[in-house]
Chain A
Amino acid sequence: MSLDTVAAAQSSPDTKQPFAELGLKPDEYARIKEILGRRPTSSELAMYSVMWSEHCSYKSSKVHLKQFSEKAPKSAALLVGIGENAGVVDVGQGYAVTFKIESHNHPSFIEPYQGAATGIGGIVRDILTMGARPIAVMDPLRFGPADAPDTRRVLPGIVAGIGGYGNCLGLPNIGGEVVFDQTYAGNPLVNALCVGVMKHSDIKLAKAAGAGNLVVLFGAKTGGDGIGGVSVLASETFDSSRSTKRPSVQVGDPFVEKLLIECSLEIFAEDLVVGIQDLGGAGLSCATSELASGGSGGMKVALDKVPLRDPSLSPEEILMSESQERMCAIVEPHKLPRFLEICKKWDVTVTAIGEVTDGNRLEITWNGELIVNVPPRTVAHEGPVYNRPMAQPAYIDKVNSQKVKLSIPHTATEIKEAVLKLAAAPNLADKSWVTSQYDRYVQGNTIQSHPEDSGMVRIDETTHLGVAISTDANANWSYLNPYQGAKLALAEAARNIATAGARPLAVTNCLNFGSPEDPGVMWQFAETVRGLADGCLAMGLPVTGGNVSFYNQTGTVAILPTPVIGVLGVIQDVRTRTPMSFDTAGLDLFLLGQTYEDLSGSEWAFLHGERTGQAPTADLAREMRLIELLLAGHAAKIFHAAHDLSQGGLSAGLTEMVLRYSVGAIIALENVGVALLSESPGRVVVAIDPKKVSDLRELATTHSIKVEKIGTTGGDSLTINDCVIDLDELRHAHTSTFPRLFG
């Protein structure tokens, strides 16, 4: 194939171009021609197609996502907001923390190991790009039914990929979720969160400023992997032809990424870059157009200088390649020698491929011939925006009007059966089979990880300052009511931070949905965004960034609306954190918060195949009072333990608490069935010294939170009224599910 240059494009306006195969709609192609005043070259077409894909351009979600900015609460903590590679928040003592969550759903279904591995790699580079040292990762995962044959293929591969990549990078994995539902069969959700820390002065942005500055590509060489991965994989629903897409999944090398991290941090420490961008989805197309847009707009790149793993790659393929472990920096010429020296120390390949210019065009040449000449903003930021039709799906009224019908346990035998059933349910069972494949100790700063309510890492060894993070979603509630579901997930994540004694500070999110071309799905998405934006405003927590993953559906069946909400909090002294359970007998157990008959969307309902009724209504004012109570109690050192109640209600919460340190509990409950199974939001179980009861009651009164004593700690069993469950039996139920399912 001959080179399609700008000159050729001008002289052959009628050449047929495969825009449809590249995922562009006819009107989008027409718009590109209008922008350029001619047909695009094949390289330009490649760039526009990947950058205007749903995954990169957020074309279906943009009109909704702007609520996160419009409704943003005033927050002094926010240093860098939405739009950069990741948001940055001030956590005090001169430290800034950056965190973000992203999806790598589609690649992980096709190639579980590499898909999940490169998901970690991508989010870690996003954090690194901000100038931060990555300090921890978390992985919320969702799969088809636990006993489905394909889950046995997908789950072990994804877990091994996350471990294989994250462990090799030296990043502790401090938490996440593992949830099963039929709708995720064929559409597993692999979300990856990374958090990094830096000093305020070290924040880096993606901008190419200063004419004459050099565009420097460093890291792995560019190969043929992941070509078109973004547009072909993430923007198209799976159909029967999926096996042919295997080559679109990127292949990762964590060793190269580890060197890239250390090399980059050394480069940052010596202040050698003006701007920086990682190469993720859409590879060089994205990095060059975004860097140029972030500056004055002018950039010249000699594409033939890009070091290649496969010398036969065409310029279009080089622009689209999603080869992993690459970064692009803007470097002042006089700093280049030192930049090269550091790369050499870490054996990192580095090449200056271009320079920033005075103009406002991104010009890319191939052996001296001009093959791209575009206004970079039109590629990076001015893609199509769709206000897609949306309509409340018919199922909503139907399921909301049905009352959930469930058998509620009453007798001791029934209670025991229910508690054991929940303890062993795949969604609630012990996840050690997964988490033991992740390194949680590396870096020596992990304070909390699985199975605690939140992950917590120390960021300063001298002052003991730390951050806590939790990710949560309740797709059952989001299915019944996406607006409330989003608020409830936000509240739960914030509560999971506060139980440890950390103050919630900022929010990230990964919004996993079906096809935006389905008006019902679009409505779920819009309601979710509205709920999350309203919730963040009510709770005073800014959204710092996030990710949207559409097209998670097989045929006409979409996944449950799954907004995964990550909340980051700060704790002044990690040594004082409140653990999720007690290791001594003789403590009083109190339930904070009100229990209603909230069985719709509960795990108990799920186990009975019921997904009907109405989701609880989020009371965020009360949630905030509860958080303040938890923080005040933590400050007053009242709590021995505090554990959030969510999926599986009090039954699951007590199971997790008694098994944590093998100290039992004696519990007395009225209306025992509902008390154990209800998933009313805004509830926490705390363990306190009996001498502190009056302190707790006083706090509860001050914050208007209901508090009731439910039992005491001690013994070798979980005793609920007249039902006695031996801890060994409970442990067996809780811990044998995953080994039985996955070997």
Chain B
Amino acid sequence: MRVGVITFPGTLDDRDAARAVNRSGAQAVLLWHGDTDLKKVDAVILPGGFSYGDYLRAGAISRFSPVMNSVIEAAGEGMPVLGICNGFQVLCESHLLPGALTRNSDLHFLCRDQEIEITNNMTPWTTTFSLKERIVIPLKNGEGSFQCDDKTLAQLEDEGRVVARYVGENPNGSRNLIAGISNERGNVVGLMPHPEHAIDPLTGPTAQGLGFFTSILNSMVK
């Protein structure tokens, strides 16, 4: 089971994502933004950071990198793709996911331990969670407010494509407290909080983020 982790220029959480993948029992494969070769991985993670310095808009330049052509193609064929934070932003910019991430409503970067509720445990990234399971993982971003038009929001809700929601006070102004969504097929998931930083209580608030990585392993083994 090989899970690719993409490094764009300015990616920061690639080592953390690779560590989480390895901790779950899968094998992390480092992918470079300038290569089109996905090295026969079974799934891909777009980690957090500030790819291309967030120039223009977060994720706006990364979507044009050679590796993204391959990711878009593979996603179309059903390969599981997880975008975390900046990765989520790249997926939106690539139109693999609808909507956009805008600046937090209070205009500050926010790093805190965030409770979220898993609202869809059918995606390949969330199968090990029970429905409505609440977990605490770090949230850390400046542009994490999920926005989309009313029609798209209704569609996401009706089709059960909201994968996770913030619990309690809205941390960033996201519509409907959305912390993560999937595409129609369910294989592409974007998540604002950082499960890769919650794989060990020693270095994170909990180990509850590991579920995203064991989910993908389970999904592939099945």
Check A443/B15 contact, CB under 8 A, given A254-B53, A436-B110, A437-B111: yes
Query: How near does chain A come to B196, taking the closest CB pair, in angstroms?
Result: 7
Question: Would you call B204 and A441 a contact (CB within 8 A)?
Answer: yes
Contact residues in B for A432 (Cβ distance below 8 Å)? 112
Check A575/B202 contact, CB under 8 A, given A255-B9, A255-B50: yes
Task: Annotate A148-170 by CB proximity to B: 1 below 8 A, 0 otherwise.
Answer: 00000000000010011001111
Task: Annotate A432-463 by CB proximity to B: 1 below 8 A, 0 otherwise.
Answer: 10011111111111110000000000100100
Question: Would you call B52 and A444 a contact (CB within 8 A)?
Answer: no
* Residue of A170, A440, A447, A575 ringed by the most chain B CB atoms within 10 A: A170
A444 to B55, CA, bound (A): 25
Name the residue of chain A whose CB is nearest to the CB of B203. Answer: A444
Contact residues in A for B49 (Cβ distance below 8 Å)? 170
Question: Would you call B111 and A436 a contact (CB within 8 A)?
Answer: yes
Query: How near does chain A come to B199, taking the closest CB pair, in angstroms?
Result: 8
Check A255/B194 contact, CB under 8 A, given A442-B12, A444-B19, A446-B203: no
A267 within 8 A of B: no
Name the residue of chain A whose CB is nearest to the CB of B107. Answer: A160
> Which of B55, B142, B204 is within 8 Å of A255, CB to CB?
B55
A347 within 8 A of B: yes
Query: How near does chain A come to B197, taking the closest CB pair, in angstroms?
Result: 4
Question: Would you call A259 and B15 a contact (CB within 8 A)?
Answer: no
A347 to B8, CA, bound (A): 12
Task: Annotate A167-188 by CB proximity to B: 1 below 8 A, 0 otherwise.
Answer: 1111000000000000000000
> Which of A256, A441, A443, A445 is within 8 Å of B140, CB to CB?
A441
Query: How near does chain B come to A372, taking the closest CB pair, in angstroms?
Result: 35
Question: Would you call A444 and B197 a contact (CB within 8 A)?
Answer: yes
Name the residue of chain B whose CB is nearest to the CB of A433. Answer: B108
Contact residues in A for B78 (Cβ distance below 8 Å)? none
Query: How near does chain B come to A383, taking the closest CB pair, in angstroms?
Result: 37
Question: Would you call A436 and B112 a contact (CB within 8 A)?
Answer: yes
Q: Which of B179-213 contact A (CB under 8 A)?
A: 194, 196-197, 199, 202-204
Question: Would you call B202 and A574 a contact (CB within 8 A)?
Answer: yes
Contact residues in A for B204 (Cβ distance below 8 Å)? 441, 444
Name the residue of chain A whose CB is nearest to the CB of B50. Answer: A168
Name the residue of chain A whose CB is nearest to the CB of B113. Answer: A441
A495 within 8 A of B: no
Check A444/B196 contact, CB under 8 A, given A437-B108, A574-B202: yes
A346 within 8 A of B: yes
Contact residues in B for A438 (Cβ distance below 8 Å)? 109, 111
Query: How near does chain B come to A630, taking the closest CB pair, in angstroms?
Result: 21
B42 within 8 A of A: no
Task: Annotate A666-701 by CB proximity to B: 1 below 8 A, 0 otherwise.
Answer: 000000000000000000000000000000000000
Query: How near does chain A come to B108, taking the closest CB pair, in angstroms?
Result: 5
B10 within 8 A of A: yes
A152 to B117, CA, bound (A): 36
Contact residues in B for A207 (Cβ distance below 8 Å)? none
Name the residue of chain A whose CB is nearest to the CB of B13. Answer: A442
Question: Would you call A447 and B50 a contact (CB within 8 A)?
Answer: no
A167 to B194, CA, bound (A): 14
Query: How near does chain B come to A297, taking the closest CB pair, in angstroms?
Result: 38
Contact residues in B for A39 (Cβ distance below 8 Å)? none
Contact residues in B for A446 (Cβ distance below 8 Å)? 203
Task: Annotate B86-117 by CB proximity to A: 1 below 8 A, 0 otherwise.
Answer: 00000000000000000000101111100000
9 intermolecular pairs with C-beta atoms under 8 Å apart: A167-B50, A168-B12, A255-B55, A258-B53, A442-B12, A443-B15, A443-B16, A444-B19, A575-B202
Q: What residues of chain A have their CB less than 8 Å away from a CB belonging to chain B?
A: 160, 163-164, 167-170, 253-256, 258-259, 346-347, 432, 435-447, 458, 461, 574-575, 743
The 5 lowest CB-CB distance pairs between A and B, nearest first, are: A255-B53, A170-B12, A441-B197, A444-B16, A168-B50
